[in-house]
Every structure is written in C-alpha cells, then in structure tokens.
Structure 1
Amino acid sequence: MKCNLRIRTTQVFCRGFHQSSVIRSRSSNPAMQFPCLDKMEELSAQLKKRPSSCSLDATSSPHNEPVYERVRSGFKVFQSDKPLFLDYGGVLPKFEIAYETWGSLNKAKSNAVLIHTGLSASSHAKSSVDNPHPGWWEKFIGPGNSMLDTNKFFVICTNTLGGCYGSTGPSSPDPADNSPYATRFPMLSVQDIIRGQERLVTELMGIQKLYASIGCSMGGMQSLAYAQQFPESVEKVVTVSACARSHPSSIAMRHAQRQVLMADQHWSRGFYYPTAAEPNKILPHVGMKLAREIATVTYRSGPEWESRFGTERLNDERPPVLCPDFLIETYLDHQGEKFSLEYDANSFLYLSKTMDLFDLSKSHQDRSKRRRAEARQQYETQDINDEPTRLCDVPYEPIKKNRTTTVEEAREDLRNGMDPIKGKELLVIGVKSDGLFPYWQQREIVDLLGSGREIKHVELDESQSLFGHDTFLLDVEHIGGSIGRFLREKL
C-alpha cells in the first residue's frame, strides 16, 4: 500500500553566523523560528561594535556596555594599602571597598549597623542625596522606619570584595601590571570578605563594636562569620535565609550555573575584558543570561509561580515553539536578559564559589589560619621581581575521594567552630517556601548554638510568604518587622 505524502519546498533564512546562507530543502513542515536566539545574536553584534575605549562612563549606551561598568556614583570608597592574606592561600596586595551610609554615628559610636549583601547586590541599599535611585532594600531603611530607623541607627552597607560595584574584584586592575585580574583573582572565602569589612569599620570609621551585623542569603553567611571572626566587635547578629555551612543541594545548583556560564565561548576563561589590542571583545552575555535563569528558579517559589503564571502559554492558538512560550518561560527569559549585562561574569563565578565554600567548622578555620600564615610568609620573603607561586600554578589532578567523616563528626566539628557565636544575641529567620536555603538549614543554626533566651528563631510558613528565597527582598511585614523588633530590644 502506497502512502502519498505532500512535500513542499521551504526556504529557511538562518540568522547570526549563518545569515548569508539559504537552506533549500524538501520538508513536510516549515522549520521552526527561534526569536530568542535571534535576540542574543543581535546583542552579540551590538557588543562587538561598542566603542574601542576601555574608559567607560554613564553616557555609554546600555546595549553597548555592561551596566556594572556604568555604576560609578553615589558611594564612597575605603582604600587599604595593607595586604589581605586569604584563606585559600592567595593575597590582595591592596584593595578597595565601596560603601554607603545613612543616618548619623553617635558620639559613643555605639549605634552602627552593618548590612551584608547577597551575591549580586551593590552597596546601594537605600536612596540618598548622592544617588536618589531606589536601593535594593529601599522600604526597609529610613527615618522612622520600623526596621532600620536612621534617626536611631548609623547604617553601613558595603559592596562585597569580589564584586563589581566599586569594590576590588576580578574586573579590577591587578597592581602588578594594571590589567584586570580576570581569573588571576584569588579565591575568596566569606571570612576573607569579613576581614576586609572589619578594616573599613575599625580603621576608617573608628567603630570598635557594631550594634548589629545583618545579612540575608550570602549576607546571612557574612553576619555569622563576622560574629565568629570578631565576637567582641558585634552585639547583635541577624541572619536570614542562610546556613552555617553550605549544603550539597545548594552547591549542586550553583555548580550548574557556573558550568553554563563558563561554556559561553566568549567567556574566554575569564579574559573577556576589552584591551587596547582587542577592544571589541564580546562579553559572555549568553552564559550570564542562562546562568541567571537557572539561579532564578532557586530564588522564587513554586507556589508563587502557580498563582502568577500557572501553565498558561502566550498564545494557545499558535503552535508551540522552543523559545519562551509559557508565561513562566518569558519571566525567566526576562530575568536572565536583564541580568546579563548588569553584573560581571567573573564576579558571579567567584562569589558563587565563595558561597559553596562557606563553612564555620573548626577544622576549616584551622586550615584557613595555616594557609593565611603561609601566604604571608611567602609574600614577605619573595623578591619583588619573582613570579608568585600559587596552588593554581600546580597542574590540577582530580582525586577520587569518598567521604572520610561521618555526619555526626562533621556536625560536631561545625558546633565547635561556632563556639565564638554562642552567647550572642542572635535572630535567625527562615522561610518554608525557600528552595535554595531550606528552612531546616536555619533550624540547624539554632540547634548547633543551643536554644537560649539570647537566640530568637522566626520561621515563615507558606501562609505568610510564597516568595521563596527572595522573601528577604520583598516582605517588609514579616522580615522587616521581625528584624526591627529584635533591634529595638534593650536599645
């Protein structure tokens, strides 16, 4: 039996790298269109035509230059010319930290509150005269505010070391040759970031004891680390949607993001910054977009998405396409596209790994102390003309390794490492809809420190918040209210 199949000739005009070619073929159906790929290819073409100068300013077209290069106003900079020796054996010969403040420091210098940011946030937590644009925590800070009342508190927020909004990071010049560090930048720990912040607080501002150390997500890791590293230098500690040690599920999620970003052909192993010799390098915006889309899946919650998007498509009457077609897909696509030029790719990679490495355990602290001492000795004894020898210069050979400690041993190690935090007034907040830092990780912090009157634990269930990990950015009532009440105690 013969089957008569109608065959038609189709012409497919391929965009991007194949723009000049025309494919003629006999096909049962027309080839699918890919507007999402077209858009990324068009942005690559625009980036390739950007100005050849590496001196970027706020007048540059947002499509031609990364946004992080244009965020160069509204903050002050703390400069340290003393080397910072790092937990993984590296060194920053000197460094800068961007910071902003709100309110006034009292005469006793006893009302300072330090805000630690998440992975990609700048120091701009609140609008100011120097930068009137709304900050990322705009509704949580201000005169008479129920959380951080700037009539009472002197609020400090820094852009973390390793970032790209004014603090020293991979996009900053290496003092050895004045070229961007790129992936010559040393790996940081959360504790390294804290030691840099402590210099700003004590050396620049003369504050010997913070009234409070507050942070969410990676910032929540930092607030705990500040109390661990400098227990006598902080009175109250607030940690929101964080943990005492990174867990395998979170590490796995961030690993996937990094792999996607590094697979972008334009990432060039981190050396994608324009130079005089190669002024028209294309930024790895495709990898950044896709990495951010994966990250966004971990930031917001399933219940919220069910109520906002459901499984609705853009147009039920049209055939489905492989590009964004569901409402949830268009949301992720927008978030990724928006972020792709807002943040430096190397900063994203480094600080993502810094989060993975976070560990308050005693053994980790002992190893870090030894490596910092070795880095100091090498730095102080090497000839100024010598090339530095670092662990990364040694050929990397993967080692097959099974777990060598039991769960109970690791937990006891972590408990011992958190001894300096015990006795501190501590507020721990968790969110049940959080998929990145599940609520049981905040319960673990409380359990490890031991219950006591000085520890307060707030856990938001689904009836209180459906925003997942991003709840700390959005929930003024439960997050802001809980922190505000905690700060006002004994004030």
Structure 2
Amino acid sequence: MVMVNRSMLVNLRRLISNNAKSTNPAMQFPCLDKLEEITAQLKQKNRPGSCSISDPTSSPSNEPVYGKVQSGFKLFESNEPLFLDYGGVLPQFRIAFETWGKLNKNKSNAVLVHTGLSASSHARSSIDNPQHGWWEKFIGPGNPALDTDKYFVICTNVLGGCYGSTGPSSQDPADELPYATRFPMLSIQDIVRAQERLIRTQFGIQKLYASVGSSMGGMQSLAFGQLFPDSVEKIVSVSACARSHPSSIAMRHAQRQVLMADTNWSRGFYYPSSSEPNKIPPHIGMKLAREIATVTYRSGPEWESRFGTERLNEETSPVLCPDFLIETYLDHQGEKFSLEYDANSFLYLSKTMDLFDLSRSHANRSHRRRIKAAEEYEKGSFSEKRLSDLPYKAAKKRRTTTVEEAREDLRIGMEPLRNKEILVVGVRSDGLFPYWQQREIVELLGGDSKVTHVELDETQSLYGHDTFLLDVDHVGGSIGKFLTQ
C-alpha cells in the first residue's frame, strides 16, 4: 500500500500550479470543439432569425418527424387587432396554414388539427410540399385516423411560432424591426382565438366537425371547446391536461433558464440587422434546452431497450463529453434542433404551456385584461400603459388557495365542455403529461357519458410522451373510431 504524506501532496500541487507536465494527460472535449466550430461557422454568414428548413425524411423510422419546413403553406392575414389574455395586443397578425381533403358544400366536415410546441403547419405531405409531415401517417385518403376522403383537415402553425405565423421573429409594425422579447406574452386561449378567426374568415366555417390536438395541441383543443362550445362538434385531446402542473412547469423552467444563460441570446435581441449582420443565435443554449426536453419526451423502459448502459467504446477511457449511447442520442437531438427553431418562439410557447389553465378565475382575469387593453388601444394610450412596462416585483408567496378550491375553480371553468363529445387519450409511460392528468380531465367533466377515455398501458406503448407522434394503431385508431361513432 502506497502512503501519501503531506509533503508529497504539496509537491504535487506545486507541479500542477507551475504548469509542469501532468501526472495524467488532460482530457479531450470533442463536444466542446464541435460547438466552437459551429460558432465559428455562424460568424461567417448572416443567418435569418427564424426557423430553418430541414429534411424530415432523414429521421430514423423510430423517431418522430416534426415537419419543420418553410414552404407549401398559405397565409391568413388579419388586420384587426387581437387583444391578449395578459394585456398585450397584436395590431395585425398572420397564421400559416395547410389543408388536405375537400370542404363540403355545407362546410360541416372541417377538422382543425392543433400542433405541439415546435411543429409547423406541415402535418402531411402535399403537392405544394412533398416532404413528410409530422403527422404523415395519421392523415390521408382512407386513413383510419383522419380520412381526407371524409374530412377537410386544417393545420396551422401556432401564433408565436416561427414557421410562417406571427411570432417574436416577425416584424413589429410599429418600427418594422423584429419583435424579439417585445413580443407580448400569449395564452393557449389567445392562440385558439387566432385560429378561430382564421377558420371563420378564411373558410366561412361556422362549426368545426372536430378539434384535434396532442400535447400543447391537446391544450388548444380543450380551450377551443371552452371558448367556442357552439362552434365545434367533437373534441380530441391526447396527452394533455386541463391546467399545467408543477412538475411540467419545473422542467420547462429549467429548459428556459439554460437557454437564456447563453450569452448570445442577448435578452432576445439576437436577430441580425444592417448594423450587426453576423449576430450569432443562442445555438448552445437551444441545444442544451432541447436535450433536457427530450428527456421528458420518451420513457425510461424504451431507452433501456434501445440503449441500455452501453458506451461508444468500452475499451477506452471515459470522457465528460457524450460517451454512453443515450448521451449521444440526446446530443444529436439537441444539435439537430438548435438551428431549426427560433429560440424566442421556444421560450414564449414554453411559457404559454406553463400558463395554461381552464379555470373560471383565469378566464375572468383574462377577460378583464383584454377589455382594458382594448380600451387603452382605442384611446391611443396603449403603448404607454402596458402591464409589461410596470416594474416587475418578485415577492415571496405561499399558496393562497387549497387544492380543493383550485379544483372546484377548474371544474366550473370547464362547464362549457360539459355535454360535448370528447375523446381524452392518456399514456401510462408518459412522464411529461402523466396519465393521471388525463384522468383529471375526465373526472372534472363529471364522468359525462359523452366523454370517451382511452389509456394506453406499457404493453401498448413505451414511447412516453412521443406516443402521439408514433403510435398510429392505438392513438390514430382511437381518434378514427371516435370521429366516426
């Protein structure tokens, strides 16, 4: 046994401090080298501040295809102001949308598909854009889920997004510069109001046959039924909730903090300009935020079967960069996303998900703020009195309502959904929106006989939250059966 005395330790520290030859070689960091290389490349060219075009056909068969593309969509433009739940206003806005199938004469076969946080309007391939969409296998002629021989399917890029719809990377009409973080905070209900204006104004549709959505889209689908109960026949909500819960909020908070810590984020003002054409987007923060998010999208048992605890090379010394197979998977997912999606859109829509709430008190507060914003806008004093201009005061606060009071508030807020035909789908392996959150929706609706609840157990799906993107048989089949019954 070798004894190490104090003098030996002092000599060792002196060697290291004097930059003498180390006892062991310094570790290599190929992952950091790659990030530095990407940063150097970005310095050499002027990148747009919005989402980029990618090739979804290159994704492995067991990975969801998000259809992040910027072609083939149409634009709905509204010059009427949209007053928002948190006191903001969009004097004008546009929504990117795509359609499949044919609207019948009495306009009764329209299905509105709501997207998750980062998806475009490109849910399925088309003549205008032959690339596969993010719900390619769920939509099409004779499809068991959304049969375009029967239904006229509409999908939009959400307000706040960056695939054609107005969002933080869009120009503020006041000065024609990107909104950046001057963009107003949104609610899920704001997104739905913009969509309702589109289907009513663009197509003259007074009542949807169905509102269908998963994840953040499932939130939108429920919100559509809450806001416009007479304008929709059937409602489908997959892997969503009636209000965001602390565990999901905490996880998305961590993602946003990592992204905002990237110095290139510059508090949201990272878009190139004539004076600074080579600004670098916060690609490192986006990469890391996406890696954290990806952890919540799939399940542990699935990763156990796919990756186990194997390393890239069991014979070499471990490194602090991606070394396990699961690490390389997360690294790839983060890197692929980091320049595909606008960072501010990610931040805003992530927060919008956190703020989701169907309770009566939320609806009442939102109504008061929208009325006030409209009054100030009409008087021409809106820009001087926005809520966001007031100093933000963080204060220590304990919960002021009991669990029972909050639940009753939510139950009352969901009254417009009662007696509607609703399909609620949950997945037992989902860690981001656990199955009990879908059970809560059903319970809050009082076990109404018109509510259909489907819950997939681990023998049916181990894909976790991404099940809604991958499981055509169980998710798609349940949707198709519900819509035809």
TM-score norm. by structure 1 comes to 0.92
1:401 paired to 2:397: yes
Question: Matched residues in 2 for 1:208 and 1:201: separation?
Answer: 8
Cα offset for 1:463? Answer: 0.4
* Correspondent of 2:473 among 449, 471, 477: 477
Find the counterpart in structure 2 of residue 447 from structure 1: 443
Find the counterpart in structure 2 of residue 111 from structure 1: 109
1:422 paired to 2:418: yes
Question: Matched residues in 2 for 1:298 and 1:52: separation?
Answer: 30
Change beyond 3 A, Cα 1:362–1:58: closer
Q: List aligned pairs for 1:25-424, cutoff 5 A.
A: 25-51=20-46, 71-382=69-380, 387-424=383-420
Cα offset for 1:159? Answer: 0.1
Amino acid at match of 1:258: R
Question: Matched residues in 2 for 1:200 and 1:472: separation?
Answer: 25
Q: CA deviation digits over 1:319-353, x for unaligned, max 9?
A: 00000000000000000000000100000000000
Change beyond 3 A, Cα 1:57–1:268: closer
Q: CA deviation digits over 1:58-114, x for unaligned, max 9?
A: 79xxxxxxxx9x943200000000000000000000000000000000001000000
Q: CA deviation digits over 1:383-407, x for unaligned, max 9?
A: 5xx8433222212111111111000
Change beyond 3 A, Cα 1:2–1:402: closer
Change beyond 3 A, Cα 1:197–1:153: same
Question: Matched residues in 1 for 2:170 and 2:118: separation?
Answer: 16
**Matched residue SS, 2:35:** helix
Question: Matched residues in 1 for 2:334 and 2:385: separation?
Answer: 38
Q: Matched residues, percent identical?
A: 74
Amino acid at match of 1:257: Q
| Range that drifts further, 83-92 or 49-58 | 49-58
**Matched residue SS, 2:121:** coil
Change beyond 3 A, Cα 1:370–1:146: same
**Matched residue SS, 1:458:** strand
TM-score norm. by structure 2 comes to 0.93
Instruction: Report if aligned partners of 1:465, 1:471 keep a CA contact under 8 Å in 2.
Output: yes
Find the counterpart in structure 2 of residue 467 from structure 1: 463
Change beyond 3 A, Cα 1:199–1:135: same
Question: Matched residues in 1 for 2:391 and 2:208: separation?
Answer: 43
Instruction: Report if aligned partners of 1:54, 1:275 keep a CA contact under 8 Å in 2.
Output: no
Find the counterpart in structure 2 of residue 15 from structure 1: none
Q: CA deviation digits over 1:333-385, x for unaligned, max 9?
A: 000000000100000000000000000000000000000000001111025xx
**Matched residue SS, 2:263:** coil
Cα offset for 1:52? Answer: 7.9
Question: Matched residues in 1 for 2:473 and 2:212: separation?
Answer: 17
Cα offset for 1:233? Answer: 0.1
Amino acid at match of 1:231: P
Question: Matched residues in 2 for 1:475 and 1:56: separation?
Answer: 27
Change beyond 3 A, Cα 1:215–1:141: same
For these two proteins, the number of residue pairs brought into alignment is 466
Amino acid at match of 1:447: E
**Matched residue SS, 1:26:** coil
Cα offset for 1:53? Answer: 8.5
Question: Matched residues in 1 for 2:138 and 2:69: separation?
Answer: 22
Amino acid at match of 2:111: V
Amino acid at match of 2:152: F
Instruction: Report if aligned partners of 2:50, 2:162 keep a CA contact under 8 Å in 1.
Output: no
Find the counterpart in structure 1 of residue 57 from structure 2: none
**RMSD of the alignment, in Å?**
2.2
**Matched residue SS, 1:99:** strand
**Matched residue SS, 1:266:** helix
Instruction: Report if aligned partners of 2:50, 2:341 keep a CA contact under 8 Å in 1.
Output: no
Cα offset for 1:452? Answer: 2.7
Instruction: Report if aligned partners of 2:53, 2:340 keep a CA contact under 8 Å in 1.
Output: no
**Matched residue SS, 1:78:** strand
Instruction: Report if aligned partners of 1:54, 1:279 keep a CA contact under 8 Å in 2.
Output: no
Cα offset for 1:456? Answer: 0.4
Q: CA deviation digits over 1:448-484, x for unaligned, max 9?
A: 0011321100000000000000000000000000000
Structure 1 residue ranges (4+ consecutive) displaced by more than 3 angstroms after TM superposition? 1-7, 51-59
Instruction: Report if aligned partners of 1:429, 1:442 keep a CA contact under 8 Å in 2.
Output: yes
Find the counterpart in structure 2 of residue 63 from structure 1: none
Question: Matched residues in 2 for 1:52 and 1:462: separation?
Answer: 43
Cα offset for 1:57? Answer: 9.1
Question: Matched residues in 2 for 1:343 and 1:48: separation?
Answer: 18
Change beyond 3 A, Cα 1:37–1:468: same
Cα offset for 1:25? Answer: 3.2
Instruction: Report if aligned partners of 2:50, 2:169 keep a CA contact under 8 Å in 1.
Output: no
* Correspondent of 2:433 among 432, 437, 442: 437
Instruction: Report if aligned partners of 1:104, 1:154 keep a CA contact under 8 Å in 2.
Output: yes
Amino acid at match of 1:33: Q
Unaligned stretches of 5+ residues in structure 2: 55-65
Question: Matched residues in 2 for 1:388 and 1:178: separation?
Answer: 19
